[in-house]
Amino acid sequence: MKLNKKIITVMSVVCSLFLVTVIYLTYFMLFEAKEISNSTYNQRIWAKEEKVLRGNIFDRNGVVLAESEQTEGRQKRKYPFGKLYAHTIGYNNRTYGKTNLELNFNDYLLKTESVIDVLKRDDSDKSLDKGANLELTFEHEMTKLASSLMEGSNGSVVAINPKTGEVYCMYSNPTFDPNEENLLKNWDELSAREDSAFVSRATQGRYAPGSTFKIVTAATAIESGFGNFSLTDSGSVKIGGHIFNNAGKKSYGNITMHEAIKYSSNVFFTSISQEFSKKSFEYMAKEFHITKKIPFDLDVKWSELDFDAMDNVEIASTAIGQGKLQLTPLNMALVSCAVANNGSIMKPYIVNRAYHEKGNTIYKAKPSVLSSPIKMNTAQQIKEYMISCVKGGTGTRAQVGGITVAGKTGTAENEKKGKTHAWFIGFAPAENPQIAICVMKEYSGSGGGSVCAPIASKIISHAYKTGLISAN
Amino acid sequence: MEKRMLSIKPLFLLITANLLGMLIVIMNKDIQSENIVYLCALMCLINVIAYLVINLCALGDGYLFIIISMLSSIGIIMQTRINSDNGIRQMMLYLAGVFCYFITIIVYKVFHKYWNRLTLVYFGVSILSFILTALLGAVKNGSKNWIIIGGISIQPSEFIRILFVLSLAAVLTNGKFKKNKDQVEDKKMKRLRLGIVAIIAYINAFCLLLQREWGIAVLFFAIYLSYLFIYGDSKLFFSANIFAALSAGFIGVKFMSHIQVRVSTWLDPFADATGKGYQILQSMFAISAGGFAGSGIGHGAPYFIPIVSSDFIFSAICEEMGVLGGIAVLLLYFVLVYRGFKIALSSTNDFNKAVSIGLSVMLGVQTFIIVGGVVKLIPLTGITLPFISYGGSSMITTFIALGILQAISSMKGEVTDEIE
């Protein structure tokens, strides 16, 4: 009957409304709920937090970096070292919400012991339920040192164990005091600042990498079979109608890649970039996670770069870290990690574990390989060149007595004329790398070899003296 | 008449859910009132008696009542959990609803011959109550849609829903239009019929818009469109109506600030998170907090949501019983709507068929409008969730509507088309 057919159609429409609602609810729960519930407007978070004493945060040696105290029924989050960890641990307060680790590890910081653990507890223990503590991979003294070395200039210091991915130090300047009362006092001023103190330069700031990027270019060339490439460097070269000069128009004569890295020859690397394919360059950028997100405990920025659309001049500019390419200091630290760790990048992490004071570990970071952009031989070859760069090239100021340092300097031109970014990436000890480092000073106007290499040297020397790394 | 196997299983499940749910609420909220215990016992008793009466006296569909009772129980449990006084009132409303349910069955069956002749009465009463509300109405939650009679506040727009369905169904199936001898109505008559339907629908919708009852206006339009689709032949007329609705919606979004607010808070509730977007955000937070499994009854924080006991009750259910619990509730409505359409399909009486279509669409679309609204699938319009939202008018009306469906299901095969 025709009427009944039409009724069935209407029924199907009405019933599909239910189906749509069910699907939407499931979708919402799977993909949107988490982000929405983290909103600062969500009073539920605070309602729950009143019942749980937020877990503390420690560095690798047990130094307290963030702690919660119960006073007059209200909790207070304290950061004893103020501005040192604002960009990594972040802040947690009712007015401005949560950021960084305080946000990303909120669930652990508020996770109370399971019912069984509580039952096992001593009856006399009547303390408030406590969330899990976090143990970070940071070394507090190194962060303090980095902060004092960066005093007065903007930029970032990142130090990572290339064998495991543990981040020893991640510090960005300018920074701010995340303690609630100071945040309340300074918020307007901080928001108005032009150099945006809220931005973590290490993970969120993107800069032209300058000559430090030649490591990636060299890696692409070696992997593409141009490891023995040599040319006569007359101080400048013309590519696609554009003239590329060496710094100070210095000419190095007949050079191989070894000298090219040691002295940072622009002529060599712009020329060699014309030899390998765009595809292999693009592939390398992706494998180094420069054009791909780095999975990390903090939010990171990455670049989108269309290598296919680039002409020869742009490829040449990119090969020496100029042009459109911009990346974060964390990115460059990982490039250094790849060379240090025989071609493999370990996934970086800050939170080593989350644990209950009287109970079990509920989260433990497991070192894992993030990607292996280059072969072991390629890594060895580049390592040799980086050693001689520090031994007798542009990076001599990174030397540390007693151990061999490998490194590469960079001085990147940018939109502000004469205010170059200064870079240094490196690792030590070269024979058995245990620390990889990236130092960046934005708009410093000086060379990486003169302002960043000394900082790297002091950080590595500190790690050596305190026994964080050993000579071999 | 077919012989029915009496199955106790669904009844058993219902009673178990009732007892467990109330037990959790009473323990959790530490409720001292003995009345709740007595009322709960009475509710279970009524569940049993009503179920047995419907099945043993062959009063048609055996599942309608059990699903309604399950939904009402969930409603009562949530209402008690939010506010125990409201819970007690909701229980009494449920009992009153069941009473109305059976009265409706009896009255509808006894006077079944007359229902399709009362178009003017249905329409007249609707218009009269619109006028009364406009003159004597009180304002609650931004809409002037309440009348207070003898201390009891009534929401006439709730009752008008049934009158609307009855009036359209009566016009569409009234025998008077089939005057020619082959009993096949000619095209002219059919057009006239649809014309009257359109006029009734638009007048009703207009009155509702004046009262700012957006939700119910949309609901009426959905019912009207379903009728047009099923009973009309002209695709042009159907499309013209959809076009009219769309342009009305467009004008509303463009020029009427209330509708603008609803649409903009739907698109971006964070734009004014402490003001206009507050309600919907609290609802989203509640649902997120519950997760799939829910926080457990009594362990959530539904009191953060404004008007949680009526419009936003579904969010509270999702928070404490989880999204899975929410989906289960939706499935109950789904089955209920499906049974309604099944009754329409098997009904042999034209008028009854039309009425059951209207009531089923009403139930389904109303649930979608409010649930879709609170989960931010569609813009939010204030409308009650049948059987669960706190409120007498809504409860009694939906029980009457379902009572009519129950009566129609029991009349299958008994009453065929009668031609005057």
Instruction: Please count the helices (runs of H) and the strands (runs of E) in chain A.
Output: 18, 19
Cβ proximity of B283 and B273 under 8 Å? no
Q: How far is CA A422 from CA A49, A146, A413, A417, in A?
A: 44, 16, 9, 14
Query: What pLDDT score does A6 carry?
Result: 92
Query: At CB < 8 A and 24+ separation, what contacts does A192-201 make?
Result: A195/A154, A199/A172, A200/A87, A200/A88, A200/A100, A200/A172, A200/A298, A201/A87, A201/A154, A201/A155, A201/A156, A201/A172, A201/A173, A201/A328, A201/A329, A201/A440, A201/A442
Query: What pLDDT score does B2 carry?
Result: 47
Nearest to A7 among B281, B323, B357 (CB): B357
Cβ proximity of B168 and B199 under 8 Å? no
Is the pLDDT assigned to residue B29 strictly greater than 80? no
Distance from CA of B218 to the nearest CA of A (A): 14
Distance CA B70, CA A447 (A): 76
| Mean pLDDT, residues A397-416 | 92
Nearest to B288 among A9, A24, A37 (CB): A37
Distance CA B170, CA A353 (A): 71
Distance CA A66, CA A82 (A): 9
Query: What pLDDT score does B139 carry?
Result: 67
- Residue B66: closest CA among B12, B138, B24: B12
Can you list the positions of beta strands (E) in B38-104?
Answer: none
Nearest to A21 among B287, B360, B372 (CB): B372
Nearest to B291 among A9, A29, A47 (CB): A29
| Contact (CB<8Å) B367/A33 | no
Cβ proximity of A114 and A104 under 8 Å? no
Query: What pLDDT score does A118 carry?
Result: 56
Phi (first) and psi of residue B392, to 5 degrees: -70, -50
For the stretch B149-167, pLDDT in tens is 766 778 888 889 999 999 9
Six-digit token string for B355: 């009425």
Six-digit token string for B353: 């068929």
Q: Which residues of A touch B (CB under 8 A)?
A: 3-4, 6-11, 14-15, 17-18, 20-22, 24-26, 28-29, 32-34, 36-37, 39, 41-44, 47
Sign of CA dihedral A176, A182, A187, A193: negative
Helix (H) or strand (E) holding B290: helix B278-290
Most confident of A40-44, A190-194, B403-407: B403-407
Phi (first) and psi of residue A156, to 5 degrees: -155, 150
Distance from CA of A108 to the nearest CA of B (A): 16
Band (pLDDT 50/70/90 cuts) for residue B420 is very low
Cβ proximity of A159 and A81 under 8 Å? no
| Mean pLDDT, residues A50-60 | 89
Chain A residues within 8 A of B304 when measuring between CB atoms: 43-44, 47
Band (pLDDT 50/70/90 cuts) for residue A273 is very high
Distance of CA A450 to the CA centre of its chain: 23
Amino acid occupying residue A378? T
For the stretch A117-168, pLDDT in tens is 555 555 555 556 788 999 999 999 999 999 999 999 999 999 999 999 999 9
Query: What pLDDT score does B417 carry?
Result: 46
Q: Could you tell me how many residues make up chain A?
A: 472
Query: What pLDDT score does B418 carry?
Result: 42
DSSP line for B99-143: HHHHHHHHHHHHTTTTGGG-HHHHHHHHHHHHHHHHHH-EEETTE
For the stretch A8-51, pLDDT in tens is 999 999 999 999 999 999 999 999 888 888 787 888 777 777 77
For the stretch A333-377, pLDDT in tens is 999 999 999 999 999 999 999 998 877 889 999 999 999 999 999
Q: Please give the DSSP secondary-structure letter assigned to residue A135.
A: E
Distance CA B283, CA B418 (A): 50
Q: Where is average pLDDT lowest: A276-280, B28-32, B179-183? A: B179-183
Which residues are CB-contacts of A405 (< 8 A; sequence separation ≥ 6)? A387, A390, A395, A398, A399, A426, A427, A428, A429, A430, A456, A457, A460
| Contact (CB<8Å) A37/B337 | no
Chain A residues within 8 A of B330 when measuring between CB atoms: 18, 21-22
For the stretch B323-379, pLDDT in tens is 999 999 999 999 999 999 999 999 988 899 999 999 999 999 999 999 999 999 999
Compute the half-sphere exposure of residue A209: CA atoms within 13 Å on the CB side of its CA.
31
Distance from CA of A186 to the nearest CA of B (A): 24
| Mean of per-residue pLDDT scores for chain B | 86
| Contact (CB<8Å) B229/A9 | yes
% of residues, chain A, pLDDT over 70 = 96
The overall longest dimension of chain B from CA atoms, in Å, is 71
Backbone φ/ψ region at A359: left (φ over 0), alpha (ψ -120 to 50), beta:
beta
| Contact (CB<8Å) B368/A21 | yes
Query: What pLDDT score does B151 carry?
Result: 67
Band (pLDDT 50/70/90 cuts) for residue B175 is low
Which residue in B288, B314, B374, B377 has the most chain A C-beta atoms within 10 A of its own C-beta, making it the best mutation to test that interface?
A: B288
| Contact (CB<8Å) A14/B273 | no
Nearest to B327 among A8, A17, A25 (CB): A25
Chain B residues within 8 A of A22 when measuring between CB atoms: 327, 330-331
Nearest to B230 among A3, A29, A34 (CB): A3
Chain A residues within 8 A of B288 when measuring between CB atoms: 29, 32-34, 36-37
Is the pLDDT assigned to residue A331 strictly greater than 90? yes
For the stretch B258-283, pLDDT in tens is 888 888 889 888 888 778 888 899 99
For the stretch A232-247, pLDDT in tens is 999 999 998 899 999 8
Six-digit token string for B140: 């609650």
Distance of CA A301 to the CA centre of its chain: 9
Query: What pLDDT score does B419 carry?
Result: 38
% of residues, chain B, pLDDT over 90 = 43
Compute the half-sphere exposure of residue B73: CA atoms within 13 Å on the CB side of its CA.
26
| Mean pLDDT, residues A187-197 | 86
CB pairs under 8 A between A and B: 112
- Residue A329: closest CA among A429, A410, A384, A435: A410
| Contact (CB<8Å) A18/B330 | yes
Band (pLDDT 50/70/90 cuts) for residue A429 is very high
Nearest to A7 among B230, B274, B289 (CB): B230
Six-digit token string for A18: 């239910």
Nearest to A10 among B230, B286, B288 (CB): B230
Query: What pLDDT score does A69 carry?
Result: 86
Distance CA A401, CA A202 (A): 28
| Contact (CB<8Å) A3/B367 | no
Amino acid occupying residue B360? S
For the stretch A90-125, pLDDT in tens is 999 878 888 999 999 988 998 877 666 555 555 555
| Mean pLDDT, residues A183-200 | 88
Nearest to B304 among A25, A28, A43 (CB): A43
Distance from CA of A34 to the nearest CA of B (A): 7
Q: Could you tell me how many residues make up chain B?
A: 420
- The SS3 of residue A98 is strand
- Residue A216: closest CA among A311, A296, A305, A300: A305
Distance from CA of B268 to the nearest CA of A (A): 12
Chain B residues within 8 A of A32 when measuring between CB atoms: 288
CB atoms within 10 A of CB A281: 23
Distance CA A213, CA A448 (A): 13
Cβ proximity of B66 and B11 under 8 Å? yes
Pairwise pLDDT comparison (B420 vs B117), residue with the higher score: B117
The residue to which tokens 């993107």 are assigned: A206
For the stretch B61-94, pLDDT in tens is 888 999 999 999 999 999 988 888 888 899 999 9
Considering only alpha carbons, which residue of chain A is nearest residue B277?
Answer: A41
Distance from CA of A40 to the nearest CA of B (A): 10
- The SS3 of residue B377 is coil
Is the pLDDT assigned to residue B181 strictly greater than 90? no
For the stretch A377-405, pLDDT in tens is 999 999 999 999 999 999 999 999 889 99
Query: At CB < 8 A and 24+ separation, what contacts does B43-49 make?
Result: B43/B18, B43/B73, B43/B76, B43/B91, B43/B94, B43/B95, B44/B15, B44/B18, B44/B19, B46/B95, B46/B98, B47/B11, B47/B14, B47/B15, B47/B18, B48/B11, B48/B15
User: Kind of pairing, strands A345-346 and A242-245?
Assistant: unpaired
Which residue in B221, B320, B341 has the most chain A C-beta atoms within 10 A of its own C-beta, making it the best mutation to test that interface?
A: B341
Is the pLDDT assigned to residue B32 strictly greater than 60? yes
| Mean pLDDT, residues A293-306 | 91
| Contact (CB<8Å) A28/B287 | yes
Cβ proximity of B338 and B351 under 8 Å? no
Q: How far is CA A227 from CA A211, A232, A381, A391, B241, in A?
A: 18, 16, 9, 21, 74
Backbone φ/ψ region at B391: left (φ over 0), alpha (ψ -120 to 50), beta:
left
Helix (H) or strand (E) holding B89: helix B84-110
| Contact (CB<8Å) A15/B326 | no
Which residues are CB-contacts of B359 (< 8 A; sequence separation ≥ 6)? B162, B165, B340, B401, B402, B404, B405
Cβ proximity of A286 and A306 under 8 Å? no
Residue B280 burial (CB < 10 Å; 0-12/13-18/19+)? buried
Distance CA A186, CA A177 (A): 9
Band (pLDDT 50/70/90 cuts) for residue B30 is low
CB atoms within 10 A of CB B235: 9
Query: What pLDDT score does B1 carry?
Result: 41
| Contact (CB<8Å) B318/A25 | yes
Chain B residues within 8 A of A33 when measuring between CB atoms: 287-288, 291
Which residues are CB-contacts of B42 (< 8 A; sequence separation ≥ 6)? B95
CB atoms within 10 A of CB A250: 15
Distance CA B411, CA B408 (A): 5
Helix (H) or strand (E) holding A380: helix A376-392
Distance CA B174, CA B168 (A): 10
Q: Three-state secondary structure along A37-70?
A: HCCCCCHHHHHHHHHCECCCEECCCCCEEEEEEE
| Contact (CB<8Å) B301/A34 | no
Query: What pLDDT score does B178 carry?
Result: 54
Q: How far is CA B232 from CA B188, B244, B247, B355, B361, in A?
A: 12, 17, 22, 16, 17
Nearest to B375 among A17, A21, A47 (CB): A21
| Contact (CB<8Å) A41/B281 | yes
Distance CA A7, CA B355 (A): 12
Q: Which residues of B touch A (CB under 8 A)?
A: 226, 229-231, 270, 273-274, 281, 284-289, 291-292, 301, 304, 318, 323, 326-327, 330-331, 333-334, 337-338, 341, 344-345, 353, 357, 360-361, 364-365, 367-368, 371-372, 375-377
- Residue A448: closest CA among A416, A415, A413, A417: A413
Query: What pLDDT score does B339 carry?
Result: 94
Task: Give Rg (Cα) of chain A.
Answer: 26
